[in-house]
Each structure stands twice: as structure tokens, then as C-alpha cells.
Amino acid sequence: MPQALHEQSASALVPQLERREITAEQLVRACLDRIDAREGDVQAWEYLAADSALEQARQLDRRPVQGLLHGIPIAVKDLFDTADMPTTYGSPIYASHKPAADAAAVALCRAQGALMLGKTVTTEFATFKPGKTRNPHGLTHTPGGSSSGSAAAVADCMVPLAFASQTAASVIRPAAFCGVVGYKPSYGMVNRTGVKALSDSLDTIGFIARSVGDVALFAAATTSDRGLLQLDVSHAPRIALCHTHEWPHADEDTHKAFEHAARVLALAGMPIRELQLPLLFSQLMQAQKEIMAFDLVRSLAHERLRQPHLLSEHLNQVLDSGLEVPIERHYANLQLAQSARGMVSNAFGAFEVLLAPSAIGEAPDTLTQTGDPVFSRVWTLLGLPCVHLPFFKGRTGMPVGLQVVGRHGEDKVVLRVAKWLMERLAPV
């Protein structure tokens, strides 16, 4: 039987919308019907703009095709400002906040014909306190964070595309836990204007979808770089397995995902190569933690001074830890990060990308925490492009996968290899 509209990829929907085989209004209604059926369980949405999305869809259906995302519904993480919807940043401090303008990324997608369906749940200021969202693959399991609602909404076929952001692991980890594709571009590739700032040296806008082609389409529309759509591989990609210095944290499920990937590559005639990162990189996870805490206490200075009682105990502890980082230590951490970035190209050697862990394993069976960001902190600090590939199941049937990591600025390479790998790492 043909897929229902709400189950189809954005890449499949766009040509149907362009040929007027379906209407934007039909697509939005299909998504809203799915949300109506499932939101009571999954709780992915902070705000749903059903009426305005339908009206905008009807307007689009009367106009010529507008852009790469004409008629495609998008979920917006509630860390991004939206002029026509509330933006709470996951905090009661901003419960009634209504921004005057869209975030740049949101506005750019609207210009490409996209429809903003609503705001998805984020953790408190995109940090560690969970929101209400549940993992659609197991309602007692965390969906990850901080882009929890975005990952859950896409995984449950409520919407084909969702905005995300990452300061530690907030694109890759929820994508891993919810079994969808998460793409964290190279640092600085996507304009961050209008997204609540946490760490100027770490914050990165990202994309969540159900296929590599869809995150590439989403990114192309947001950056105006249509070269991201060219996903054909002209040669056998040069891929190395990289367990990273954090490998002792990985559990049996991530071990098995690596073993499966190695078998698939071997069957494809690829030599199995493992890459050891320089010893200096073993210091980067701690540096990322300290840089993030140092920046966070300054980015949230107003909230901390004016309404500390409305911040969670955990967040207040993180902010206190940021105050304890001496400025000399912060400068040393920034220098360490800069030195490591200068080593990345040589560290990769002849390999185009690395295949590395995305998370410790399956999503933990709890809603009181969002999981450990251990396997993304270093890549975020280095500003490297990463794509999570969902291709495996853990011991209890929850999603598991690995992430493709490339050199800074080589997002096109990373996306091409990610698509090539996903076509071979078929779900098991």
C-alpha cells in the first residue's frame, strides 16, 4: 500500500506538491491528524499553530511554487524565535514571551515555502532538565535532549522536518534515541540570529528528518547552498572506524552497532580501518564542559540575577560551576580547542570521514534525565559536521546507530558518505 502523506519524506513530498498531485493543505491536515492521534502519548509539542498553518497552506496552494520547501510542514524547536508563535526556551521565565521577529533560519525557510506547524519541546534553556516529551519507540524512555520534541515529532511521523540545535549533543543524541537522522553542520554554517544563545563558541543550528536526503534538502533551503543536494558518490568513500577516547562509556548495543557496520563495509569490499585520535583529544571533553559552563552562566546572567528561583536546581548548579572556572582556565581551554582544530585534518589522514559512536547505547528507560552527551561533546567543540545514522536496534528493541564525522566545512562530503552508508546499513 502507498505510504500515507504524513509518513512520506520531504524529498518525496516536494515533487508531488510541485506537480499539484497533492496540496499543502492536504499535507498539513495529514500531519495534524497524526498529531491528534499521538500527541497525548508522545507530548512533543509546546505550541501547535494548526489554524494558521492551514491558512498559510491554502495561500500557498493558490500561488506558484515558491522554493525548495514549498508546502512542507516544519517543527521549530522552542529555542528559536517565531514572530507568530510563543517562544518559551523551555523555561517558565518566558511562559508568555512573544518575539517580535523570526529567527533567521525560520525566516529563510519560510522564504523557501515552508510552513511552520508549531513549536516543539526543548529542555530548560536547551540544557539538562527534561521536558514533557516521551520517546515514541518506548513511552517510558527519554527522547534525549535538548531537541527532544523535534526528534520525537519526526520519529512519530507527525512532521517530516524539525529544527534542532546543539551545544553538547542536542542534535545527535535525540536523533540516536528516537531513531531518526540528525545533522549537525559545521560550526558557523547556519545563521544563529534569533536562537537563544548558550555558548557563542559551541552553539550550532541543526536539522532532524527521517532520511539523509531530507536533512540535506532542509540544510540547502536554510543556507541557500544547493550543492548540498548533490548526494551521489563518485568513488568508494574512504571511511575509518573511530571508537574515540570515550569508548569505555559505550555499552553492548553500541559495540554491536560497530560490529554490524564493520561487517557491512567488509561485504561491500571496503577495508576495515580503525583510526586513533591524537592523545591531546582526550582532554577535549573536559574542556568542552568547562567552556559550556563558563559561557552559559554569562548567557543566562539576566535570568540568574532576576529570577533564579525559576531555574531548576540542576541548572543553578551548572551556572555555579561556570562561575568557578577562572578566566585563565577558560582562555587555556579555548587555546586547547584551537590547537586541536588545527590537528583535525592531519588526524583524519587519508580518510574522508570517521564513523563514531553517537550515544552510549539505547535511550535510558527513564523520563527524569536525557542521557549522557559523552560521544558528541568533542565533535561539537571542534565544530565538525556530524550526521547520525539510525540503522540498528538494541537489546530491548530501541534504536541505536552511529554518527558520520567529517572535517570542518566538508559538509557535502559528510552528507554524501552518510547517504552511501545508510543505503548499506539497512535496518536489522
What are 321-367's pLDDT values in tens digits?
A: 999 999 999 999 999 999 999 999 999 999 999 999 999 999 999 99
At residue 428, the pLDDT reads 47
Which three cell numbers mark 133? 516529551
> What single letter denotes the amino acid at residue 67?
G
Is residue 11 among the annotated active site residues? no
Domain 5-229 and domain 239-424, same fold? Reply is yes
Q: How does the average pLDDT of the chain come out, rounded?
A: 97
Which three cell numbers mark 284? 577535549
Q: For residues 416 and 421, what is the distance between their CA atoms, to the nearest angstrom?
A: 9
Instruction: Work out the angle at residue 259's Cα, subtended by the Cα atoms of residues 256 and 262, and round it to the nearest 5 degrees.
Output: 155
The answer, yes or no, to whether residue 274 has pLDDT greater than 70, is: yes
CB atoms within 10 A of CB 341: 15
Is residue 289 among the annotated active site residues? no
Of 26, 35, 56, 18, the C-alpha closest to 154 is 35
CATH architecture observed for domain 5-229: Alpha-Beta Complex (3.90)
The answer, yes or no, to whether residue 426 has pLDDT greater than 80, is: no
Q: Is 119 left (phi over 0), alpha (psi -120 to 50) or beta?
A: beta
**Backbone Cα Rg of the chain:** 20
Is residue 148 among the annotated active site residues? no
What are 6-42's pLDDT values in tens digits?
A: 999 999 999 999 999 999 999 999 999 999 999 999 9
User: 149 Cβ partners below 8 Å, 6+ apart?
Assistant: 43, 44, 45, 46, 75, 77, 78, 119, 120, 121, 122, 131, 133, 143, 162
SS3 call for 275: coil
User: 286 Cβ partners below 8 Å, 6+ apart?
Assistant: none
**DSSP symbols for 339-378:** HHHHHHHHHHTT-SEEEEESSSSSPPS-SS-----TTTHH
Is CATH 3.40.50.1860 correct for 239-424? no
Mean pLDDT of 75-101: 98
Q: For residues 101 and 81, what is the distance between their CA atoms, to the nearest angstrom?
A: 7
Percent of the chain with pLDDT over 90: 97
At residue 427, the pLDDT reads 56
Residue boundaries of the structural domains of the chain: 5-229, 239-424
Q: Which of 170, 186, 358, 376 is catalytic?
A: 170
Q: Which of 146, 147, 186, 358 is catalytic?
A: 146
Q: For residues 371 and 235, what is the distance between their CA atoms, to the nearest angstrom?
A: 37
Q: Which of 11, 77, 201, 299 is catalytic?
A: 77
At residue 244, the pLDDT reads 98
What are 145-192's pLDDT values in tens digits?
A: 999 999 999 999 999 999 999 999 999 999 999 999 999 999 999 999
What are 389-425's pLDDT values in tens digits?
A: 999 999 999 999 999 999 999 999 999 999 999 999 9
pTM confidence score: 0.98
What are 101-135's pLDDT values in tens digits?
A: 999 999 999 999 999 999 999 999 999 999 999 99
Q: CA 32, 36, 37, 42: dihedral to nearest 10 degrees?
A: 100
